[in-house]
């Protein structure tokens, strides 16, 4: 059964565009895209107000006994943006740049991301302001468990299901699951996704976001009539998403000519040996010292003459200040919010085909959904089954967005928001408002 994306045209919405002048504000940058899509959909004012505000915002103090015997207090956030379509879904990140505005924006992104690939989830996000690189494993475990206890009233397989994000991993998810399970007095595997396989994690979950980027990049190349073999790709951010996407695209015949991480980038017009780069990162925990290419900066990588640019690092790397210098034909947004609202119009004028983040990196949440389903059913799939079902959802979702983009003569980002907002709005209309 498919959702009819057409909405009544007798609706009025008047977004205040002046509030979006600050393209660095992650929530307002994201909501400027929301407003554009809502305007095109003629979204009724009441629903516009509902969808523009998060359902719940939680800020907690997280006291932690440090290894030196002193107590440090960290600040943690958890935002549930919209749960009309199902339990909230969204990662937990540990980073010094975590803020309530960022977490709110990421929770909204998760709402639209789950809807654009038609998963029965709402959107959430969480984070703790800390520097995990300066903390021991014991300190990180105590931080995780105390943060989990602080937000435990929202957590649960039917209410809020976290996953790994920036600077968190399978081990952190194991601590969250164990803390929640101890409070519930029984093991609850479905409370988090991205867990170790031995604890109910799904095969294929670690590679899922990068694999999703590969799938939609292939679909974009097919749409534009470009051959996969020999396509040149630059990947900014060589973490889990970027490295997996680079490896899989190389296997498909693409030539990865540049990669980078927080320590800098490397360029080789003849192609970088991605397996060697991954091996180097495993040994030294960064690309620093990699000898497979000439050193460049992260800024240089963004403006290389390549067919595909895959930003897979953090937010706001392509802005109105450098968008005019981007020479790629396709941008596949592996990261959340790598392109600011101010850069969108510049990229569109240049004719660059942008696969938006809420579609491009939805492979991770899709396989998280598979993990949640497997945990609840107590029956686990083969990796081949996971990858086959991921490919089906990603290709179908790309086609849905592309069809709407052609129908309304808008870019892929606007079309993706129109698809997702339409699906969330439809559920709100059907459910009504509880009074």
Best CA proximity match to 326, nearest among 305, 295, 356: 305
For the chain, the C-alpha Rg in angstroms (whole number) is 21
How long a stretch of residues is the chain?
435
**Residues 298, 260: contact at Cβ < 8 Å?**
yes
Q: How many CA atoms lie within 13 A of 185 on its CB side?
A: 0
Q: Which helix (H) or strand (E) holds 183?
A: helix 170-184
| β partners of residue 289 | none
- 125 tagged catalytic: yes
Q: How far apart are alpha carbons 367 and 203 in whole angstroms?
A: 9
Q: Which distant-in-sequence residues (6+ apart) come within 8 Å of 373 by Cβ?
A: none
DSSP secondary structure letters along 370-427: HHHHHHHHT----HHHHHHHHHHHHHHHHHHHHHHHHHHT--HHHHHHHHHHHHHHHH
DSSP 188-255: -GGG-SS--GGGTPPTTTTTHHHHHHHHHHHHHHHHHT--STT-EEEEE--SHHHHHHHHHHHHTT-E
Which is catalytic among the residues 89, 104, 113, 125?
A: 125
Measure the CA dihedral 139/144/146/148, to 10°: 180
CA distances for 232 relative to 215, 325, 430, angstroms: 16, 17, 46
- For the annotated catalytic residues, the residue numbers are 125
């Amino acid at each position: 059964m498919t959702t009819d994306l057409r909405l009544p045209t007798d609706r009025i919405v008047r977004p205040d565009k002046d509030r979006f002048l600050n393209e660095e504000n992650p929530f307002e940058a994201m909501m400027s895209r929301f407003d554009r899509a809502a305007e095109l959909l003629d979204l009724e004012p009441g629903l516009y107000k509902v969808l523009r505000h998060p359902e719940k915002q939680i800020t907690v103090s997280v006291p932690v006994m440090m290894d030196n015997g002193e107590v440090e207090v960290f600040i943690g956030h958890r935002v549930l943006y919209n749960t009309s379509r199902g339990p909230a879904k969204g990662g937990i990140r540990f980073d010094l740049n975590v803020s309530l505005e960022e977490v709110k924006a990421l929770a909204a992104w998760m709402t639209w991301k789950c809807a654009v690939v038609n998963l029965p989830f709402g959107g959430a996000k969480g984070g703790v302001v800390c520097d995990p690189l300066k903390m021991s494993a014991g300190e990180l475990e105590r931080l995780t468990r105390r943060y989990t206890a602080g937000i435990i009233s929202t957590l649960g397989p039917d209410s809020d299901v976290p996953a790994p994000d920036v600077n968190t991993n399978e081990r952190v998810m194991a601590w969250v699951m164990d803390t929640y399970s101890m409070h519930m007095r029984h093991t609850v595997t479905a409370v988090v996704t991205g867990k170790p396989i031995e604890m109910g994690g799904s095969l294929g979950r670690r590679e899922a976001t990068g694999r999703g980027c590969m799938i939609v990049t292939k679909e974009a190349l097919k749409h534009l009539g470009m051959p996969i073999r020999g396509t040149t790709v630059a990947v900014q951010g060589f973490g889990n998403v970027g490295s997996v996407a680079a490896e899989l695209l190389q296997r498909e015949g693409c030539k990865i000519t540049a990669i980078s991480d927080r320590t800098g980038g490397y360029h080789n017009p003849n192609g970088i040996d991605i397996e060697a780069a991954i091996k180097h990162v495993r040994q030294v925990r960064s690309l620093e010292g990699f000898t497979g290419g000439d050193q460049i900066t992260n800024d240089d990588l963004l403006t290389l003459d390549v067919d595909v640019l895959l930003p897979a690092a953090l937010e706001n790397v392509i802005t109105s200040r450098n968008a005019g210098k981007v020479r790629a034909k396709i941008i596949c947004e592996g990261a959340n919010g790598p392109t600011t609202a101010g850069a969108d119009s510049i990229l569109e004028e240049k004719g660059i085909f942008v696969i938006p983040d809420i579609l491009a990196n939805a492979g991770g949440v899709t396989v998280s959904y598979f993990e949640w389903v497997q945990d609840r059913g107590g029956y686990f799939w083969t990796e081949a089954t996971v990858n086959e079902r991921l490919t089906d959802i990603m290709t179908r979702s790309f086609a849905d967005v592309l069809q709407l983009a052609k129908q309304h003569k808008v870019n892929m980002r606007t079309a993706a928001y129109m698809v997702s907002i339409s699906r969330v709005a439809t559920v709100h209309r059907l459910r009504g408002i509880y009074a």
